[in-house]
Chain A
Amino acid sequence: MIDFSTTTTFGVVRRVAATGLSTPSIYVLICEPGELGTVRKDLAAEIEVQLGSELRFLDASHITFDALLQANAHANGPGIVLLAMRRWEHNLVDSIDRNIVLLTESGPLLLLTSFDVAERILAKAPNLRSRIADVLLIGPDEALGGSH
């Protein structure tokens, strides 16, 4: 079992902000499956406050690689793509891995998934793995207490 560092939605958006929206960076964010919706909401709110930008949400079970590429393109204006992968998506991960160079020509990509799926991605997608800026454990913003 791999030990990953823990961060917060505040921390990860700070990191993305430090490199800028035009810099291609891929982060794999691992959360509890039941917390995915809250983490997504927190990320969107943090991105709005810190970057004045929008979170483009994509559900991995409903998209193709082309749709991902299009959402991540600079032509859409500044923004961050959040790809939520609730379960292992062989075809999509395979396409990302084979075409990773195309993804690293555009803006930041956050891949939000569970621990098991993340481990599988790291094992099965070597090209993607080599382009990942970091793999981080993330949860709902604790500073907000119960105000979600």
Chain B
Amino acid sequence: MSLDDELVELARLNDATTQASLDNLTLDPAHLLRNLRFYLSRQSDYRHIKRLKEKAVELTTVEGGAQVMECSAVEFNSGSTLTFKIRLEQDRTAWVVRQFQFHVKLAQPRRVTMVRIHLNPVAARDPLVVPRCHLHIDNSRPHVPFPILNPRLILHLVCEHIEPDIGQDTKG
């Protein structure tokens, strides 16, 4: 096997691990919504984010019976914004995460304007270039592999680390 083929094989293995993690991540959509909404309301209590609307996170049933959870906009006190969308599908008796997008637009001036975390619904043709779960910094081309985390942990990561720290000038 050539070196290139070996790397592609390793990337496919990574996507298979991603799928296995997703299979183990079963979530009740309503329970997840309540947890995310409560987490955001706590962030609002701590004044990390601006006043939270009660319907900041909403769940809708779409064609085929999937549930889509959407947060149209949460504004941090710094001026950064967060939107996210999570698609859950029923697999036999359990709900599994099929796709998500967390978009953080960072307040300016910062050296980074945007961080995006994506889970694609299916594996890409070339998993070496586009791993199924990945992170983008700004509009740069690289799809940096990202682990499968419970959406509650991703939200925590965004609120406590990505939004406050990324792109900040560390000098002085």
B18 at the interface (CB under 8 A from A): no
Also in contact, A147 and B59, with CB within 8 A (given A8-B54, A45-B30): yes
B37 at the interface (CB under 8 A from A): yes
User: What CA separation (Å) do A49 and B60 show in the bound complex?
Assistant: 20
B31 at the interface (CB under 8 A from A): yes
Instruction: Determine the chain A residues whose CB is within 8 A of the CB of B38 once the complex forms.
Output: 10, 49-50
Q: Which residue of B31, B58, B61 is within 8 Å of A49 (Cβ)?
A: B31
Instruction: Determine the chain A residues whose CB is within 8 A of the CB of B29 once the complex forms.
Output: 147
User: What CA separation (Å) do A45 and B29 show in the bound complex?
Assistant: 12
* Residues B57 and A143 in contact, CB atoms below 8 Å apart: yes
Instruction: Determine the chain A residues whose CB is within 8 A of the CB of B58 once the complex forms.
Output: 142-143, 145
User: What CA separation (Å) do A128 and B31 show in the bound complex?
Assistant: 34
Instruction: Determine the chain A residues whose CB is within 8 A of the CB of B67 once the complex forms.
Output: 145, 147
Interface residue total, chain B, C-beta cutoff 8 A? 17
Residue of A nearest to B62 (CB): A145
A129 at the interface (CB under 8 A from B): no
User: What CA separation (Å) do A50 and B39 show in the bound complex?
Assistant: 9
User: What CA separation (Å) do A11 and B35 show in the bound complex?
Assistant: 14
* Residues B54 and A143 in contact, CB atoms below 8 Å apart: yes
A2 at the interface (CB under 8 A from B): no
Instruction: Determine the chain B residues whose CB is within 8 A of the CB of A147 once the complex forms.
Output: 29-30, 59, 61, 67
CB distance from A24 to the nearest CB of B (A): 23
A1 at the interface (CB under 8 A from B): no
Chain B CB within 10 A, most for which of A10, A14, A46, A146: A10
* Residues A144 and B30 in contact, CB atoms below 8 Å apart: yes
Q: Which residue of A49, A142, A145, A146 is within 8 Å of B34 (Cβ)?
A: A49
User: Could you list 19 further interchain pairs (A-B, Cβ under 8 angstroms) beyond the known A142-B55, A145-B61, A146-B60?
Assistant: A10-B34, A10-B37, A10-B38, A10-B41, A10-B54, A14-B41, A49-B31, A49-B38, A50-B34, A143-B37, A143-B54, A143-B57, A143-B58, A144-B59, A145-B59, A146-B61, A147-B59, A147-B61, A148-B30
Binding site for B on A (CB under 8 A): 8, 10-11, 14, 45-46, 49-50, 142-148
Question: What are 23 pairs between A and B in contact, CB < 8 Å?
Answer: A8-B54, A10-B34, A10-B37, A10-B41, A10-B54, A45-B31, A45-B34, A49-B38, A50-B34, A50-B38, A142-B55, A143-B33, A143-B37, A143-B59, A144-B33, A144-B59, A145-B58, A146-B60, A146-B61, A147-B30, A147-B59, A147-B61, A147-B67
Binding site for A on B (CB under 8 A): 29-31, 33-35, 37-38, 41, 54-55, 57-61, 67
